[in-house]
Structure 1
Amino acid sequence: MLESLLKAAADTAVVEAANFLSGRWAGDGPPEERTGPYLRRTVSRAPVATTAEIDAAVATARRYAPQVATLSPAARADILENASGAALRHRDELARILALELGKPMKDSRTEIDRVASTFAVAAAEARHINGENLNVAGWATGVGNTALTFRAPAGVALAITPFNAPANLLAHKLGASFAAGNTTLVKAPPQAPGISAAIVALLLESGVPGQAVQLLHGGGEVGAALSAAQEVDVISFTGSADTGAAVARAAGAKRLALELGGNAATIICEDADVEAAALLSARTGYSNSGQSCISVQRVYVHRSRYQEFLDAFTAAVDALVVGDPLDPGTDIGSMVDERAAERVVAWSAEAAGLGASVLRGGTRDGATVAPTIVAGPPAHASVVVHEVFGALVAVMPYDDFETVVDQCNASRYGLQAGLFTHDTNRIISAWRRLEVGALIVNGTSNYRLDHVPFGGVKDSGFGRESPRWLIEDYTTVKTLVLRGQSVWGDRTTLPKENL
């Protein structure tokens, strides 16, 4: 299957992405076509999972779960290491599917596949370290004379719902960690990226993942809702918008959830910052993937004494970015996911201008391709400040007082990551303590992530943490064994009196 998917992309033919159900590639549902946002033609096609297929997949996953749990951690790790190597071998072909389906430039697409390989390698390492504890129950009088042990058992059936903006790497995180934990996994692919989702699943299967360990279903929100509501599902990992995450939680009911939702990321640039470096990084990370990242640089607050200097350097850095064909290796900015998303960026920049802001660059689009947009000085109630843009737009605002700007950052309903440019350790510690975010990046922008470091947010940015080690905790349950009357600890409460 992997070879046919890669060949279709190489030939610029339509990538036919089937469902993978009960150990075979199939699909009886109506085909749904994906229009490439840059090419503006059909680039991939996938059958929408039917109600019967969803029911069968869920029942099959429940039946397979005990089998998959018997696979040793060493075997799981070896398979994931195979997958890591395979991702690197097929790097360019996989990246091409990303570029075709999403308009993501090849340089960004290759980076995503590099991260897929890294994520599988990290998941393999974590599989080798899944363990438990020998609890010191004899530390309390009620436990004297007993032994208690724990181990982390697979949760059973996991559901992974992945987004369109980083469909390959986030699937690697969710599916890689779930398999490392010993689960069978139902994957609901994003409708905008069926081809790359099928390719990553096929790559895992060809690397040795047994057919019992994964099933792939295509479709929209109705498929995700049906899977989330299924009683057979034990744990759900979802990445997407806050509104969709809330719908998943409602459908799931009393299930274990890990939700990584939206963001409205802020970066603070203090008066002691290296403004030139901050401007260059903000330009690179504010428009990569056309700003379609939950941690993309959206709000930049610059100390007023350096504000104009930053704007000048930032504008020059943005002007140097190359907008164009995502298949061209020199392109920095390709297309957004579709024209509706692009139009939102244009509309919000126009709204900001009407509220008194200056649109220094951009504010226009060609189809789904948005010119990198700079909005200077928007008011606090403008949409580009309040809401998640998730597009090729960065808002830049001056501030006067550090305590006040922290409050401005915290005014958002989101709290995923923030950036801070300063050399003042007091400010760093204060910001780390006070900013309502899951992570603070110092002397970097909000848009920085290491795949082996916990990633997640607070408030409407969700709960739980991604990266294999922390996802494995969500994907496993702690099981305790108590041996009554048998103790590896001392079991006396007093010592006999002797002549000393």
Structure 2
Amino acid sequence: MTTTHEFWLAGRRASGDGDFEVRHSFDGSLVGKVSVPTDAQVEEAVAAATAALPVFAATPAHVRAAALDHVSKRLAERTEEIAQLITAENGKPIKWARGEVGRAVSVFRWAAEEARRTNGETMRLDTDPGGVGRFALIRRFPRGVVLGIAPFNFPLNLVAHKVAPAIAVGAPIILKPAPATPLSALLLGEILAETDLPAGSWSVLPVPNEKMPALVQDERLPVISFTGSDKVGYQIMDSVPRKHVTLELGGNAAAVVLADYSSEADLDWAATRIAMFSNYQGGQSCISVQRVIADAAVYDTLVEKVVAKVQAQVTGDPKDDAVDVGPLVDENAAKRVESWVEDAVAKGAKVLTGGTRDGAAYAPTVLADLPADAILARAEVFGPVLSLHKVDGVDEAFAAVNDSAFGLQAGVFTHDLQTAFRAQRELEVGGVIIGDAPSFRADQMPYGGVKDSGVGREGIKYAMDDFTYEKVMVLTGLDL
């Protein structure tokens, strides 16, 4: 008998009046059923979070830090169990799922550390005659209850990036996991329930997407943290202009290989990283390598190496430790990628390897001569497909990176320090990775984009800032 997973309503288990299935994208097997909260239960969760706000905001730092430490420890203890669950519901290879759990362990640990050292700042005001005898203490306080909307591609770690900073600052959070991958978030709820966090300070509600507009509009939820598509993200922002909305959206990340990066070892490294990170997670990452922009001096050699290394990526059952590339999240996603590649080929692109679909799996694919009017040239593919582009010099390379509606991260393979600083200055992205693919992310660093890639930043300290506001207290009549 298949288990129906309960959800978490104000910190306790609950069941609704219906359920939906979660299936493994590789073989279609049933992973589990998930209970759906009723409208009344959603209202109960929002009311509980609203009531919990003053209590949670006033909790001592050690209480919040201890809870975060506990979550980190329990995730580490249950790594293999959780990794297997991620692979089952998401389809990502088990080795990448284990890495995701490890990242979430670190996210909660860093949040505990930040909760302990968030002290505010002081400012003497007698630097101007009008401020003689006055001293300011500046602290941060929660903006209110957070509505966290998580995507399917990292069903644990991107949930962690919403839950952990909210707990760290004492902001109640209502988490809405992706319908395709709710099980990891529900398991996280099981661990959160082991802590002493106040009742109502957190809920995990697998609400259907079609019922989300009402939650988004609810005035009791003044902060929305959304990770997902740019279309949905900006619809949310436009619908609630007076709310504090942070958006981590899409990209079509570029890896630039410049002329000075020309030794055999250099190009082997660049090709290895490009091949790996155009295909990891099935290409279902906002910073997956989608465009390779190579100087003419290294282009031909790089192409040969990239194609060989992409062909060496092991595909198959994601439960197999040897597999590098599993299926996409579902067959519809693979069909969309297939149609975009077909569009590119019809317009003149050449398939150097890949270009085939088998159910929900799409073969790691490399394209050359991609025309500018192809969908793949402008949009985010969110699949294991990369295109190769030849340029002459740094000017042309950086212009090609910036010729995009997106601006999340870019990788620049160069040894030249001046070029590295120029890249940070000129590239219209939120992050520049020198000497590696754009797909590198340390979870403690500020992460987010510009242009259509979103607003706000993830990374524990930076998300904590987004979830809070500065409040100043001025002391008067002091002998400084």
What TM-score results when the alignment is normalised by the length of structure 1?
A: 0.92
The correspondence for 2:214, drawn from 205, 211, 226, is 226
Match of residue 38 from structure 1: 26
**Conserved in 2, the CA contact under 8 Å of 1:66 and 1:156?**
no
Following superposition, the deviation at residue 44 of structure 1 comes to 2.4
SS in 2 for 1:378: coil
- Tell me the secondary structure at the aligned position of residue 456 of structure 1: coil
Task: Using the TM superposition, name which of 31-40 and 447-456 deviates more.
Answer: 31-40
Distance in 1 of aligned mates of 2:207 and 2:248: 20
Comparing 249-258 and 175-184, the one that deviates more: 249-258
1:384-441: CA deviations, max 9, x gaps?
A: 1111001011111111132122111111111000000011222212211110000100
- The Cα offsets for residues 99-132 of structure 1, whole Å up to 9 and x where unpaired, read as 1111111000000000010100111110011122
In the TM superposition, what are the counterparts of 1:7-26 in structure 2 within 5 Å? Answer: 14=2, 16-26=4-14
Larger radius of gyration: 1
Cα separation, 1, equivalents of 2:100 and 2:299: 33
Residues 187, 214 of structure 1: 8 Å contact kept? yes
Partner residue, 1:449: 441
The yes-or-no answer on 1:215 pairing with 2:203 is: yes
Q: Which moved more, 1:441-450 or 1:133-142?
A: 133-142
> Is 1:242–2:242 an aligned residue pair?
no
CA distance in 2, matches of 1:375, 1:81: 46
Q: Is the 8 A contact 1:187 1:217 kept in 2?
A: yes
Q: Distance in 2 between matches of 1:412 and 1:17?
A: 42
Q: Does 1:139 align with 2:130?
A: no
Asked if structure 2 preserves the Cα contact closer than 8 Å seen for 1:108 and 1:289, the reply is yes
Asked if 1:439 is matched to 2:431, the reply is yes
Cα distance in structure 2, aligned partners of 1:360 and 1:453: 36
Shift of 1:225: 2.1
In the alignment, is residue 183 of structure 1 matched against residue 171 of structure 2?
A: yes
In terms of mean alpha carbon deviation, does 162-171 or 74-83 score higher? Answer: 74-83
Counterpart among 150, 156, 161 of residue 162 in structure 1: 150
- Report the CA distance between 1:142 and its aligned residue: 2.0
Query: Greater CA deviation, 335-344 or 133-142?
Result: 133-142
Aligned pair partner of 1:198 in 167, 173, 186: 186
Report Cα offsets for 1:184-237 as digits up to 9, x if no partner.
111011101111110112122224444432011112323332222111112111
- Cα separation, 2, equivalents of 1:205 and 1:56: 18
CA distance in 2 between partners of 1:310 and 1:250 (Å): 43
d(CA) in 1 for partners of 2:468, 2:4: 34
Counterpart in the other structure of 2:324? 332
| Structure 2: distance between partners of 1:304 and 1:345 | 29
**Structure 2 match to 1:114:** 102
Q: Which residue of 1 aligns with 2:295?
A: 303
In the alignment, what sits opposite 1:288?
280
CA deviations on 1:50-93 (whole Å, 9 max, x unpaired) are: 32222221111101111112221112112211111111110010
Q: Partner of 1:394: helix, strand, or coil?
A: strand
In the TM superposition, 1:28-177 aligns within 5 A as 28-177=16-165
Which blocks of at least 5 consecutive residues in structure 2 are unaligned? none
Count how many residue pairs are aligned between Structure 1 and Structure 2.
476
Q: Contact (CA 8 Å) 2:294, 2:397: kept in 1 or not?
A: no
**Residue 407 of structure 2: which of 394, 404, 415 is its match?**
415
Large movers: runs of 4+ above 4 Å: none
- Most deviating of 70-79 and 100-109: 70-79
Find the residue that maps to 2:193 and give its secondary structure. Answer: helix
Query: 5+ residue gaps in structure 1?
Result: 1-12, 490-500
Q: Distance in 2 between matches of 1:87 and 1:76?
A: 17
Superimposed CA distance per residue, residues 307-360 of structure 1 (whole angstroms, 9 cap, x where no aligned partner): 121111111111211101111111111110111110121111122212222101
Q: Does 1:27 align with 2:29?
A: no
For 1:39 and 1:210, the matched residues in 2 are separated by 41
